[in-house]
Structures are given as structure tokens and as C-alpha cells.
Structure 1
């Protein structure tokens, strides 16, 4: 098992708080343990009147606690409007992502899956791919799409794109940190059998791990790799 240092400086892009923990919290923890810089960017925040200010502030506090558990190098909030990215001109959205990529200069980027049911996830994927186009030597050399419980498998597989992982990262040693980090999102935890339950999160990690004879893993789809 490699120490993942070959991934280099890593940017994890999340449409909403907790997506990044659900999708790659265990991988982020492994990268941190290997001494890799891990920058998480939460792209949206809830705005009134659709989202109460008290709820938004609570989730932001939960995100800080979760990333403290993971050990994330830096947590950024871009404060784009949650559940309303489709109201922004595509050029403006792409520009914000380009600024992020230009500033962070990541070697590896993790993005939500284009086939997720939430439109914010789809738009974040598209704008991230626009920003990460290989038009210069310091463009990201690796891009992976992650799966998000309650988003990735709730669309219409067979009609819309299906998430079929072709990269598996062993998180046997960091699964407990992933679960602890999601536990910090007290407002988001649901009782099983809801997909946003701790049992469902652990179960998916065990299934992904068993697929490659590991105790636990996270699955990804490789979008691009330049070596």
C-alpha cells in the first residue's frame, strides 16, 4: 500500500458541507497522515430566506470540527448560493472555479460525480472540469470523481451516468476518522436506514473495501491522469 504522497498537493471540492467527508474523508485523512497538503473547498452556503442563518452557522461550525478531526490543511468557503448555482451565469461560476484552481495549484483534484441527482453537484463537476483544463504545465495531473451517499445513486442509473469506481483507496486505518468527522455534523446525521447514517457510511466503506480485499475503502472514478 502506497502512502499516497504521489498525489501531491490535493484539492477536494465539495458542493455543500459534508459532501467531502462522505466522498473522501478517509482518503483525506490518509493524505494528511502522509504529509500531503489537503485543501478542502466548500463551494456553497445557504442564504436566507431559504436557509435560516442559525442553521447555516451551525453547519459551518460542524464543518470546522469535522476538518479538525481529519486534519485538513486548509478549509475554504466560497459562499456561492446553495441550491441555486443554476441562477448564476456559467461564465461567472467558471471564473470562481478558475480562481480557486489558480490559487491552490493542486496536483490532484477530487470532484463530485456528474451523475449526482443534485444540480449543484452537476454544476460543480462541470465548472471544476472547465477550470482544470490541461492548458498549461501546472494544470492538475489527476482528477477523481467521488460518490456521495444520498446523491450519487438516487438519480436514474442506466439513463443518467452511473458511478462505476475504477480506483479504490484503502481507508482501513482511517475509517474511524471519517466516521468521527461525519459524526461532527450532528445536524446532518440520520438514523439507519437513511443513507446519511453512520451505519450506511461504514457499510459502503466495507463494501468498497471487500471489492478489492481490503477492510475498508473509498471508490472513485478516474477522470484524467497525466504522468
Structure 2
């Protein structure tokens, strides 16, 4: 039975780095996948018209490759979210959640190095209360190369995976899609490199007993069927 899945990105490429293989699996299963992109780039931030246009083209290409049902852009300026935006952000995300009624939500790690990620995590979690959003069945955090591993090395800020998805059949396509974001990729030892993406998938796969995997941390899981 198909379900509706919401994948939340602070910035385009987060979703591919953290959950690209899993998204492809959802698509193959016939699930309806909604892509929520919270931030965007603008001229007043120093981005050229050409770069802004290229970014929108990248988003369209990626959305087509993943077969997203819809792409929602909230258009908050990138790299500038703060706690002062939290109230408005919660309201905007809540509208999206109520409109699409996802059973599953994937969001970024709560303690990533990028402040945009941390603010958005708090906002997303405010939109998962069971008495307001009873259709939600699962909320998971994904790890994002170049952000999750650079969070402060403190016990309370560790990403602690407790869910693994076999992406052995999807890894190469995930890397192809990530390469659409050409300006975000680099050569090893740059974190966002093909080699590092494959290395992390290999490590997670070894933990799960498969060739390649993506790891998640389950934040909420409501299961009412007979176990």
C-alpha cells in the first residue's frame, strides 16, 4: 500500500546526501513523495542571476529524477535562519504538513554543524504532535555529509543511527543525482565527494549486513498493527 512521504531539506542537496537511495526506494514502491525546501538563494545575498537560475534548474532536474509528487519552496534566505524565525517557520511547515498529510517525515539531524539545519529540525518537530497531526506514523533524522560529522563531538549531539535502509541497488543513481548539484561536489578529501558518499554507504552497509546502506535515527514511530 502506497504512502505519502515528506522529505525536508534546508538546502537542495541535503535530501540526496542523506536519503537519496531511500527516496529512490520509496519512488519504486509507488509512494507519493513531497520535497520541502526551506531556503533559497537571492541576489541581495550576493548570488548572481546566473547562479540563481542554475539552482532552480538543478532543483527541477533532481525533482524529476526522484519522481517527486510535488516540490514546495518556502524561500527563506539561505544561511540566515535564527531562533527569531522559528514561529513563522513552524507556521509555514505546519501548513505543508496539514496539506499533504505525510505518514513518514525525513528531516535533517538536530545537531548538524549548519545552524539552518538545527532551526529547521526544531520547527519540523513542532509539527509532529500526534494530537494535531494524527496521520504521521514515523519521523526520522538523516545524516548529511559535511554537516553531521562536523557537529560538536559531544555525547548529547551525536547522530545515533537505529534504522538502516539497503540502498545497494540505488547507490549509483544516488551519486548520479548528487552530481546534478555540480557546485556542491568536489574531489576527495572534500566531504561531498563521490568517494566519501560511497565510503559512508559502505560503512553503514557493513553495520546493516548489506553492500550499501543509508542510516537514520528514528525520532517517533507509531505502530498499531499486530506485531
Q: TM-score range by the shorter chain?
A: over 0.9
Number of equivalent positions:
222
Cα deviation digits, residues 95-136 of structure 1 (max 9, x gap):
011111111110000000001011100011000000121114
How far has the Cα of 1:148 moved from its partner?
0.2
Where does residue 28 of structure 2 map in the other structure?
33
Structure 1 CA distance for aligned equivalents of residues 12 and 205 of structure 2: 25
Where does residue 99 of structure 2 map in the other structure?
103
Q: What SS does the aligned partner of 1:150 have?
A: coil
Cα deviation digits, residues 191-214 of structure 1 (max 9, x gap):
111111111111111111111110
Q: What SS does the aligned partner of 1:221 have?
A: strand
Ranges in structure 2 where 5+ consecutive residues have no aligned partner: none
Q: 2:205 aligns with which of 187, 205, 209?
A: 209
How far has the Cα of 1:15 moved from its partner?
0.3
Cα deviation digits, residues 128-178 of structure 1 (max 9, x gap):
000121114634110000000000010212255101110000111111111
Aligned partners of 1:132 and 1:139 also within 8 Å: no
Q: 2:167 aligns with which of 166, 171, 177?
A: 171
Structure 2 CA distance for aligned equivalents of residues 28 and 150 of structure 1: 20
Aligned partners of 1:39 and 1:73 also within 8 Å: yes
Where does residue 110 of structure 2 map in the other structure?
114
1:159/1:166 Cα in 2 relative to 1: closer, same or farther (>3 Å)? Answer: closer
1:60 maps onto 2:56 in alignment: yes
Where does residue 144 of structure 1 map in the other structure?
140
Aligned partners of 2:204 and 2:213 also within 8 Å: yes
Structure 2 CA distance for aligned equivalents of residues 116 and 40 of structure 1: 20
1:20 maps onto 2:8 in alignment: no
TM-score (norm 1): 0.92
Q: What SS does the aligned partner of 2:23 have?
A: helix
Q: What SS does the aligned partner of 1:187 have?
A: helix
Where does residue 47 of structure 1 map in the other structure?
42
Q: 1:196 aligns with which of 184, 192, 195?
A: 192
- Runs (4+) of structure 1 moved beyond 6 Å? none
